[in-house]
Structures are given as C-alpha cells and as structure tokens.
Amino acid sequence: MLAGIGLALVLVVGATMPAAARRADPGAGCPPDQPDCSVWDDEPGNPGGGGNDGGGGDDDGGSGGGSSTCRWDGRTIPCYDEFLGWFSSSDGCYYKLATPQPEAPEGQQWYVKTCNGGADVGNQTVVPLDDPPAGFGAPPNPEELARRALASIKLLPAPLRVAPRKSIGPGLVGLPVWMWAAPSTSYFGPLTASATDRDVTVSIEAKVTRTVWDMGNGDKVPCEKAGTPYDPKGDRAGGTSPDCGYDKGYSKADTYEVSATTYWTVTWSGGGQSGEILVTRSSGIVQIQINELQVVTR
C-alpha cells in the first residue's frame, strides 16, 4: 500500500522569495561591487542580513580609528582614509602627519587636521601635538575586514522542495514527508572571498552547517545535508528520506506551511587572528495538504 501511495506523491519545486533583512543597512550605501551591505555595518555586534549574524564587538566610532568603519554625526565613515589619515572620535577630526614636517616645538609634531568627519576638507588646519591622537596609526581590525569580505558575496536562502505539495495533490496522515533543496554552492557553499586594508588581508570561507525545517505544526527537523530529491518511481517511494525527512509524518489532516532556515558558518583568518561569523538565511513557505487515509469497507 505504501509503495502504491508513494507513487502518487509528486515531486515539486517550491518557488521562494529571498528573505528580507531583519536589519537594514545603517544609512551608508554599499561600497562599489559590494552586493550585501547587511552583513557589514557600523555595529558589528548586531549585524543584519536575512537572518541573525553573530560575533564581534560594538563599534560606534569610539575606537578612534581602530576598525574599518566609524560613526560621526549620524554618518558611517572610514576610520582610516588614505588622504585624510586616522579618524579620532574625541573631536570628529581626521589627523595625518604633515609632509614635509615644519620645524616644531621640542617633543611635538605637526598634523594636518580635517574636522567634521572629514567634511571640512576646505578648512584644514595644521596643528602641533605632543602625542598622536587616540587611534592614530591603529592597524585594520581583522574581523571588520572579514565582514567586509562577507559583504562582497551573497548567501542566498535555499529554495524549498517538498513531497507531497499542496498545489499538486494531498499527502496522507502518518506517511513520511521528504524535504530537500538544490545542493548549489549559492545556497550551501563553500563560498570564498577576501578583503584588504593597507597591509592586512583577511580571507573567509562560508558554508552551511545545517538546515532546520519548520514543519508548520510546532515540529522542527534538523538536516545536516541539502536532502535527497523524492523519486515516485524510486526504490524508496512511499518510504522515508535517507537524509532529510519528516519520517513520522503528520498526525492529523490539515494544511501546513513549511519553511526552513539555513545556518551558515563563516570562518576567517588574517592579520594574525582568526574567528567565525554565524549567519542565518530564512526561506519562503511551501504548503502541504494532509488528508485522512480513507478505508473502504464492503
């Protein structure tokens, strides 16, 4: 009976819409050739993008130039600029050693000072300082470079495929459900990228470590693989999926909305450091209609 019923389960591809970012970019536009600003912003402790990202410490500009992005007057600005020098959050000015160095009082050096977050380029001044401003000469933050590299690639939510599928035909109470997605590198990785700031280069590799399916009835099914496509004429027709299925099936007749979340692990290394960034992507929804198995008696 199971084999006969299994033949009626139709393989269908469920179209999904990309998940909306839970946090928008903080106001700065994407740099050139950067498709995904949502994973690189001025608050690396709470990054955005199609799900939840983890790791990092908060950077609101208070580091005075120690990381790749700073904030001033509601704007996202680089903590280091090739022409302006290093940004100091104490006064909102960039500082760069004057070249050539005029004769300065003993123990001091001359700095070109550009204030208002670098906007006052036409009103630069040259000032003598006893010590470099806070953050002056700080190396790039490797984790921020990792996030910049991550923002240069797209981690796409996987399109869902299930059997049975409501738009084609119903399934039956108690029969297994198969779930899978195309095992494309766009949806599961590995994807690689790198970013360089001055003399520091950080490389990343992003790949999905697991997928958690929400079956629409409170049950969640974790899968370590993309899953196996259902073949109504295959050896396992009417049986359970070998690697990603809801084996016990639904306990009562109803229409259920199935979705999935892919969990990406982004490993990075460079600048003498290494670490991980965790990212999730949420899929769209496909519906499964489950009917009661009717027993005909005579």
125: tokens are 């001044």
Query: Model's pTM, two decimal places?
Result: 0.62
User: Which residue, chain included where needed, has tokens 């933050």?
Assistant: 141
Read off the pLDDT of residues 35-60 as tens digits, 9 standing for 90 and up: 554 443 322 222 223 333 433 333 33
DSSP classification of residue 63: T
Cα–Cα nearest to 164, from 148, 152, 176? 176
Query: 10-residue block means of pLDDT along the chain (298 residues)?
Result: 39 33 32 45 29 34 45 82 86 91 91 91 90 78 87 90 79 93 91 89 96 96 94 88 95 94 96 93 91 68
Q: Where are the alpha helices (DSSP H) in 113-261?
A: 142-151, 185-188
Read off the pLDDT of residues 132-145 as tens digits, 9 standing for 90 and up: 887 687 777 888 88
Q: What's the pLDDT score for residue 297?
A: 53
Q: What's the pLDDT score for residue 90?
A: 81
**Over the chain, what is the mean pLDDT?**
77
User: Which residue, chain included where needed, has tokens 């269908």?
Assistant: 12
Q: What's the pLDDT score for residue 169?
A: 72
Burial annotation 178-194 (CB, 10 A radius, 16+ → b, else e): bbbbeeeeebbbebebe
9: tokens are 């389960």
Domains parsed from the chain with CATH numbers: 2-25+30-41+46-57+141-291 (2.60.40.10), 69-129 (no CATH)
CA distance 30 to 153: 12
Q: What's the pLDDT score for residue 264?
A: 96
